[in-house]
Amino acid sequence: MKFVHIADMHFDSPFVNLADKNILGDLRRMQQRKAFKKVIEYCKENEVEYLFISGDLYEDKYVKLSTIEYINQLFKEIPEVQVVIAPGNHDPYIKNSYYNKFDWNKNVKIFKSKIEKIENREIVIHGYGFDDFYCTNCGIEQYEIEDTNKINILVMHGTLDGASIEEKQYNSITRKMLEEKKFDYVAMGHIHKTECNTNIAYPGSTISLGFDELGEHGMLVGEIEKNNLQLKFIPLDEEEFKEIELEVNDILSKEELIEKINQLEIKNNEYSKIILKGNRNFEINPYDIMRYVENERIIKIKNHTKIAYDLEKMVNENTLKGLFVKELLEKLKQETTEEGKEIIEKAIEIGLDALE
Query: CA 192 to CA 90: how far, in whole Å?
Result: 13
Q: How confident is the model at residue 20 (pLDDT cuts 50, 70, 90)?
A: low
Nearest to 189, CA basis, from 101, 91, 114? 91
Q: How confident is the model at residue 100 (pLDDT cuts 50, 70, 90)?
A: very high
Same-domain check for residues 227 and 244: no
Same-domain check for residues 121 and 192: yes
Same-domain check for residues 212 and 280: no
Same-domain check for residues 57 and 85: yes
Query: CA 134 to CA 249: how far, in whole Å?
Result: 46
Q: Which residues make Cβ contacts (< 8 Å) with residue 52, sequence separation at least 6?
A: 3, 4, 5, 6, 84, 86, 153, 155, 187
Q: What is the pLDDT of residue 195?
A: 96
SS3 for 309?
coil
> Which one of 235, 255, 289 terminates a domain?
235
Q: What is the pLDDT of residue 47?
A: 94
> Which one of 235, 266, 286 terminates a domain?
235
Q: What is the pLDDT of residue 24?
A: 78
For the chain, give the percent of residues with pLDDT over 70: 98
> Which one of 235, 261, 287 terminates a domain?
235
User: pTM for the full model?
Assistant: 0.84
Query: CA 222 to CA 180: how far, in whole Å?
Result: 22
Domains: count for the chain: 2
Same-domain check for residues 163 and 292: no
List C-alpha distances in Å: 196 to 187, 193, 235, 331. Answer: 10, 10, 14, 49
Q: What is the mean pLDDT of residues 205-225?
A: 94
Q: What is the pLDDT of residue 174?
A: 93
Same-domain check for residues 158 and 278: no
pLDDT at 189 over 90: yes
Q: What is the pLDDT of residue 273?
A: 94
pLDDT at 82 over 80: yes
Q: What is the pLDDT of residue 22?
A: 61
Same-domain check for residues 255 and 205: no
Q: What is the CATH number of the domain that holds 48?
A: 3.60.21.10
List C-alpha distances in Å: 151 to 130, 147, 148, 322. Answer: 24, 9, 7, 74
Q: What is the mean pLDDT of residues 108-115?
A: 95
Same-domain check for residues 131 and 185: yes
Q: What is the pLDDT of residue 264?
A: 95
Query: CA 334 to CA 147: how far, in whole Å?
Result: 63
- Residue of 162 and 293 predicted with greater confidence: 293
Q: What is the CA radius of gyration of the chain?
A: 26
Q: What is the pLDDT of residues 23-55, one digit of tens each?
A: 778 888 999 999 999 999 999 999 999 999 999
Same-domain check for residues 299 and 169: no
pLDDT at 190 over 70: yes
Same-domain check for residues 212 and 244: no
pLDDT at 19 over 60: no
Same-domain check for residues 172 and 39: yes
Domain membership of residue 99 as a residue range: 2-235
Same-domain check for residues 184 and 246: no
Surface-to-core class of residue 59, CB atoms within 10 Å of its CB (0-12 exposed, 13-18 middle, 19+ buried): middle
Q: What is the pLDDT of residue 356?
A: 65
Q: What is the pLDDT of residue 309?
A: 72
Q: How confident is the model at residue 115 (pLDDT cuts 50, 70, 90)?
A: very high
Contact 206, 35 (CB under 8 A): yes
Give the least confident one: 4-13, 260-269, 316-325.
316-325
Q: Which residues make Cβ contacts (< 8 Å) with residue 205, sequence separation at least 6?
A: 7, 8, 9, 10, 192, 213, 217
Contact 50, 4 (CB under 8 A): yes
Q: How confident is the model at residue 71 (pLDDT cuts 50, 70, 90)?
A: very high
